[in-house]
Structure 1
């Protein structure tokens, strides 16, 4: 399990693996964040990763800007803080 903190909103949640992505976890916690394709290709869901590490599934093609992650297809490897 990992602790996920959305810094701007002040929301924290435990990652249990119940959701497919950090975006789905954010939505389950009541956050409304930008997204587009939900596959990591459009990069609309990117947010700055303040701390921690994430993993991506094989097959996603999007590349986020430096220091950002794609919420729609990433999962936490460690505790993470996201600037959202």
Structure 2
């Protein structure tokens, strides 16, 4: 999963720590850009804390589309 989460992390520029919740489907909960292996749509909350104690929080929704793709090559031609 790659998401910019509205650049809220820029408010705390140095020594950031990250906390993602819930941990369901995430490769890690303490990194800036975890990978999600969610099998259903989930909403995550990320809180970024800078070394000076400032915090920023945002919400990220990962939408999982379970509808299989369909192919349409157009009408048959002779």
Does the alignment reach a TM-score above 0.5? no
Whose strand fraction is larger, Structure 1's or Structure 2's?
A: 1
Query: Larger Cα Rg: Structure 1 or Structure 2?
Result: 2
With normalisation by structure 2, the TM-score equals 0.30
With normalisation by structure 1, the TM-score equals 0.29
